[in-house]
Amino acid sequence: MTYNRLASRSFRWLALPVLLLGGGSACSGPPKDPFAASQQFLASRPIYEQPLADGRVIPEGLPSLSAASCGSCHSEIYAEWKVSTHAMAWVDPQLQAEMTKSENRWLCQNCHTPLQVQHAQLPLGLTDNDVEKPRWATNPHFDAALQQEGITCAACHVRDGVIQGPTGVKTSAHPTAKDEIFLSADLCLRCHQAVAEYPGKTFTCTFRTGEEWAAGPYKNTPCQGCHMPPVERPAATGAAPSTGHRHWFPGSGIPKIAGIAPPKGVFPPGVSAEASWSDGKIRLQLSNSQAGHRVPTGDPERFLLVTVIFADGSGTELGRQEERLGQTWEWWPTPKKLGDNRLAPGESRELTWDPPPGTTTARLSLGRYRMTEEAAKYHNLADYPLGEVYWEQQLVAPGP
Ligand code: HEC
Ligand code: HEC
Ligand code: HEC
Ligand code: HEC
Ligand code: HEC
């Protein structure tokens, strides 16, 4: 399945003037300065098709922009980020598989590796105005190690050689500046609110986490309020203890690479479940009690799966029922959303089943998944963790 995900939202950092340093015209042979020429092209595109920043200037006092180098002082933050999905955003096997299917990967790299120095190749323009036909140039400032770090520290924190943060605390380690965007959902929505259509293409972009959040009961809690909980600790080696913030950015808890994820239990699942057997029916109460948006959110392929297995007194299976909660899309010939039965934030919903005659036990389970096995097969993703059951309950028939 080939479709991409893009965001649209005005974003202050992108309002920075784009450098137009003598990049030659993309039409007249190779430009003298492909970096500047690409910036010139990208500045003509919608905001969600642009990188967040260029990343060429390393803040004074620091050896490099790499997360590992930040980690020499910010060791706990580094250890948290390292197992986050943000750190996996480039090495993600699904992204890598999807990017082999279309030259539209110049779009993907802007969110999954948001600094321009992380891009091996730079788009200079489009042939026939077709997003799948970019004219590529080699990036003279490409940093291969930084590319592997995906959404690295500098993607959020470094602008024009200055470390930006929520307080602008003074330190001799590097220049700092305060930017209130760190306390706002806008920082996240630059990538997590994503709606774009490409007429004639079989991919679209449809991330609406920002809209779902803004329309719900948690609109006064920015994303950070749940996804970056506070913790008392020194922000860096040798600094005084202060209130800092966890950098796991936990979500579904499904790892990208088996075994690499925030510790289990540090983040609640969005949807909780409670089962009962009454008036001859099996009942499951689902509540989206913890998430600030629909569950699942983001990628349209994600889903929750409820399974009920009915058995008789000898344990023989008498039947099973499944209920999928997610979006349903048709991708060909043109992407079209056919349905959506996800739980809105704060929403509770009861599912009921009539057990087949002779049922004495019913085993219910609830799992969250990023994609189906068929989709994984299509992408040749053999070892990709697809999801997991996170809740189970066994019910016994109530006495007569
Ligand atoms: C040589 C040690 C050192 C290195 C390397 C280092 N920092 Fe820092 N950083 C500090 C210290 C010390 C502070 C101040 C902490 C305090 O006083 O609470 C700080 C503060 C910060 C802040 C807080 C700014 C704010 O507004 O609150 C951020 C963000 C930050 N660093 C990010 C980074 C990033 C990103 C890197 C790597 C590109 C990095 N640092 C590399 C030592 C370092
Ligand atoms: C530069 C773009 C960008 C920014 C800015 C950004 N994200 Fe993300 N985020 C991503 C991408 C891309 C992924 C998915 C990576 C993948 O799965 O390959 C992601 C994944 C996540 C996940 C999913 C974790 C999981 O494994 O289920 C959460 C939660 C998240 N981000 C929260 C945030 C929050 C909170 C902020 C703001 C503080 C933020 N993000 C800022 C691009 C971004
Ligand atoms: C997706 C964006 C994002 C990434 C990636 C990111 N940070 Fe942050 N960081 C934030 C936000 C947002 C805050 C402020 C949270 C708040 O105050 O609620 C923050 C706060 C900080 C602070 C201030 C102390 C604290 O804990 O609040 C430091 C220091 C810091 N980050 C360092 C780093 C380092 C080092 C890395 C990489 C290992 C990193 N950050 C990666 C978004 C990010
Ligand atoms: C009230 C707390 C809360 C707020 C506010 C919140 N989230 Fe979440 N978020 C959650 C929980 C809980 C989950 C885990 C859902 C699950 O079980 O998969 C989650 C999951 C996610 C995921 C992973 C996809 C998924 O379905 O699991 C992403 C991406 C995400 N959140 C982004 C955001 C962004 C962006 C914002 C701000 C616009 C935000 N969240 C605001 C609690 C919150
Ligand atoms: C505007 C920003 C943006 C662009 C452009 C973008 N993505 Fe993403 N991508 C995201 C965000 C945000 C997430 C996380 C949402 C979630 O976890 O559901 C994500 C998640 C993913 C995931 C993980 C899905 C999952 O269920 O874990 C894959 C794979 C992916 N993107 C592939 C691509 C490909 C391929 C392209 C280019 C064709 C692309 N993305 C372009 C922002 C973007």
Q: Where in the chain is the domain with CATH 2.60.40?
A: 271-396
| pLDDT tens per residue across span 176-233 | 999 999 999 999 999 999 898 898 898 888 889 999 999 999 999 999 999 999 999 9
More confident residue, 24 or 68: 68
**271-396: CATH, from 1.10.10, 2.60.40, 2.60.120, 3.30.450:** 2.60.40
Residue 36: what residue type? Answer: A
How does the average pLDDT of the chain come out, rounded?
92
| pLDDT at site 16 | 29
pLDDT for res 28: 58
The partner residues of 388 in beta bridges, in order of sequence, read: 368
Report whether 269 contacts 253 (CB < 8 A): yes
Evaluate if residue 20 carries a pLDDT over 60.
no
Q: How far is the CA of 388 from the centre of ligand 4 (A)?
A: 17
**Contact of 302 with 369, CB cutoff 8 Å:** yes
Between 4-18, 99-113, 218-232, 343-357, the lowest mean confidence (pLDDT) is in: 4-18
Residue 137 reports pLDDT greater than 70: yes
Check residue 168 and give its pLDDT. 97
What length is written for the chain? 400
pLDDT of residue 202: 87
Res. 13: pLDDT tops 50:
no
Q: How far apart are the CA of 313 and the centre of ligand 3, in A?
A: 55
Residue 89 CB-half CA count within 13 A: 23
Ligand 4 centroid, distance to 291 Cα (angstroms): 5
How many Cβ atoms from other residues are within 10 Å of residue 350's Cβ?
12
Beta bridge partners of 177: 164
Span 72-96, pLDDT tens digits:
999 999 999 999 999 999 999 999 9
Locus of tokens 């699904």: 94
Residue 399: predicted pLDDT: 82
Q: Check whether 150 has a pLDDT greater than 50.
A: yes
The response to whether residue 271 sits with its C-beta less than 6 Å from ligand 3 reads no
pLDDT tens sequence across 367-381: 999 999 999 999 999
Task: Check whether 3 has a pLDDT greater than 80.
Answer: no
Position 27 pLDDT exceeds 60: no
Per-residue pLDDT for 34 more than 50? yes
pLDDT tens, 279-316? Answer: 999 999 999 999 999 999 999 999 999 999 999 999 99
pLDDT class for 167, splitting at 50, 70, 90?
very high
From the list 5, 367, 58, 9, the residue with the least C-alpha distance to 214 is 9
Give the mutation target among 14, 188, 218, 370 for probing the ligand 2 site: most ligand atoms within 8 A of CB. Answer: 188
Q: What is the pLDDT of residues 179-190, one digit of tens each?
A: 999 999 999 999
Ligand 2 atom with the shortest distance to the CA of 5:
12
More confident position, 306 or 28: 306
Ligand nearest to C-alpha 219: 4
Structure-block tokens of residue 278? 């009454």
Ligand 3 touching residue 81 (CB < 6 A): yes
Residue with the bigger pLDDT between 389 and 399: it is 389
CA 74 / ligand 3 centre spacing (Å): 10
Q: How far apart are CA 323 and CA 261, in angstroms?
A: 27
152, pLDDT greater than 80: yes
Measured between alpha carbons, how far is 223 from 52 in angstroms, rounded to an integer? 19
Span 50-55, average pLDDT: 96
Is-contact 22 36, C-beta < 8 A? yes
Contact 242, 228 (CB under 8 A): no
Does the CB atom of residue 248 touch ligand 3 within 6 A?
no
pTM: 0.94
Instruction: Identify which ligand lies nearest to the alpha carbon of 11.
Output: 2
Ligand 5 atom closest to 256 (CA): 27
Span from the CA of 167 to the centroid of ligand 1 (angstroms): 11
- pLDDT at position 11 over 60: no
Percent over 90 (pLDDT), the chain? 87
pLDDT of 15 above 70: no
Mean pLDDT of 319-334: 94
